[in-house]
Structure 1
Amino acid sequence: MTDTDSPVRATDTARTAEEEPLGASRAERLSALGQQHGALVALIVMVLVASLTFDSFLTGDNLENMAVSSAFLAVVALGMTFVIVTGGIDLSVGSLFALGGVLAAWGSRYGTLVALLLPLAVCGLIGLVNGLLIARARLAPFIVTLAAMLLARGILLSVTDEGSTTYLVDEKSFFAHLGQDKLLGIGVPVWITAALFVLGAVVLRRSRFGQYVYAVGGNEDAAALMGAPVARTKITVYTVSGLCAGLAGALNAAWLVSGVTILGNGMELEAISAVVIGGTLLTGGFGFISGSLVGVLLLKVIQNVINQIGSLDSAYQQVVSGAFLAVVVVAQTWLGRRRRAP
Structure 2
Amino acid sequence: MLSRCSAQLRSEGVWIALVLMIMFGGLRYDSFLTEYNIMTFLSYNSMFILIALGMTFVIMSGGIDLSVGSVVALSSVVVAAVSPYGIEVALPVGVLVGVATGAINAFVITRLKVVPFIATLAMMLGARGMALVVSDNQSVPVSWDSNFTHFGLGKAFDYLPWPVVTTLIVFIGCWVLLEKLPFGRHLLSIGGSEESSRLMGLQVERTLWGVYVLSGALAGLAGVMLASGFGAGQPLEGMGWELSAIASVVVGGTLLTGGLGSISATLAGAILLGLIFNILNFENGSGTITFSAYWQSVIRGGFLLVVVIIQAKIINKARAR
Verify same fold: TM over 0.5.
yes
Counterpart position of 1:220: 194
Choose the corresponding residue for 1:254, options 211, 220, 228.
Answer: 228
Indicate the RMSD between aligned Cα atoms, in angstroms: 2.0
Query: Residue deviations 1:203-223, cap 9 Å, x none?
Result: 011111111110011111111
CA contact (8 A) 2:80 2:143 kept: no
Question: Aligned partners of 2:254 and 2:300: how far apart in 1?
Answer: 17
Once the two structures are overlaid, the 10-residue window that deviates more, 51-60 or 111-120, is: 111-120
Aligned residue for 2:232, secondary structure, equals coil
1:144-155 equivalences in 2 (<5 Å)? 144-155=119-130
Counterpart position of 2:170: 196
Question: Aligned partners of 1:91 and 1:33: how far apart in 2?
Answer: 26
Choose the corresponding residue for 1:181, options 154, 161, 174.
Answer: 154
CA contact (8 A) 1:171 1:177 kept: no
How far has the Cα of 1:336 moved from its partner? Answer: 5.1
Question: Aligned partners of 2:108 and 2:236: how far apart in 1?
Answer: 28
Question: Aligned partners of 2:315 and 2:300: how far apart in 1?
Answer: 22
Aligned residue for 1:285, secondary structure, equals coil
How far has the Cα of 1:340 moved from its partner? Answer: 6.3
CA contact (8 A) 1:276 1:328 kept: no
Aligned residue for 1:286, secondary structure, equals coil
Counterpart position of 2:304: 325
Aligned residue for 1:236, secondary structure, equals helix
How far has the Cα of 1:332 moved from its partner? Answer: 4.7
Choose the corresponding residue for 2:75, options 91, 95, 100.
Answer: 100
| Structure 1 unaligned spans of 5+ | 1-11, 15-27
Choose the corresponding residue for 2:278, options 291, 304, 324.
Answer: 304
Question: Aligned partners of 2:260 and 2:311: how far apart in 1?
Answer: 11
Instruction: Quickly say closer, same or farther: Cα 1:234–1:332, change in 2 above 3 A.
Output: farther
User: Paired residues, what number?
Assistant: 315
Question: Aligned partners of 2:259 and 2:310: how far apart in 1?
Answer: 17
Counterpart position of 2:265: 291
Counterpart position of 1:39: 14
Aligned residue for 2:216, secondary structure, equals helix
Instruction: Quickly say closer, same or farther: Cα 1:130–1:290, change in 2 above 3 A.
Output: same
Once the two structures are overlaid, the 10-residue window that deviates more, 47-56 or 296-305, is: 47-56
Counterpart position of 1:19: none
Q: Percent of pairs identical after alignment?
A: 41
Question: Aligned partners of 1:122 and 1:143: how far apart in 2?
Answer: 20
CA contact (8 A) 1:32 1:335 kept: no
Counterpart position of 1:69: 44
Query: Residue deviations 1:44-83, cap 9 Å, x none?
Result: 1011111111222122222121110111111111111100
In the superposition, the TM-score normalised over structure 2's length comes to 0.92
Question: Aligned partners of 1:338 and 1:132: how far apart in 2?
Answer: 42
How far has the Cα of 1:329 moved from its partner? Answer: 3.6
Question: Aligned partners of 2:107 and 2:316: how far apart in 1?
Answer: 34
| Structure 2 unaligned spans of 5+ | 285-289
